[in-house]
Amino acid sequence: MLSFALWYVIATVFGLLILCAFVVVFGRIVNRAGYSRWWLATLFVPVVNLIMLWVFAYADWPKARARTSA
């Protein structure tokens, strides 16, 4: 029973580290594109995350729009 509990703790910590890495990396990408980091909250909503990924990929980015208008 102890080995199962230890495995569960290790897997949970590893999963949280991977989740934190995704949030940090995607947060930097979203921030550099000119959007708020609050858009990352859509990562945790099952169908909305796929829709927002599609919208984010094909939308005009605010930073690119500001660069072309200047």
For the chain, the domains span 2-69
For helices 62-69 and 2-33, the axis angle rounded to 10 degrees is 20
* The two three-digit tokens of residue 46, written as one number: 């099952």
Q: What DSSP string describes 16-46?
A: HHHHHHHHHHHHHHHHHHT--GGGGGGGGSH
pLDDT, tens digit (0-9, with 9 covering 90-100), for 50-62: 998 888 888 887 7
pLDDT, tens digit (0-9, with 9 covering 90-100), for 15-69: 999 999 988 998 898 888 888 888 888 888 889 989 988 888 888 877 777 767 6
**Which DSSP state fits 22?**
H
d(CA 21, CA 52): 20
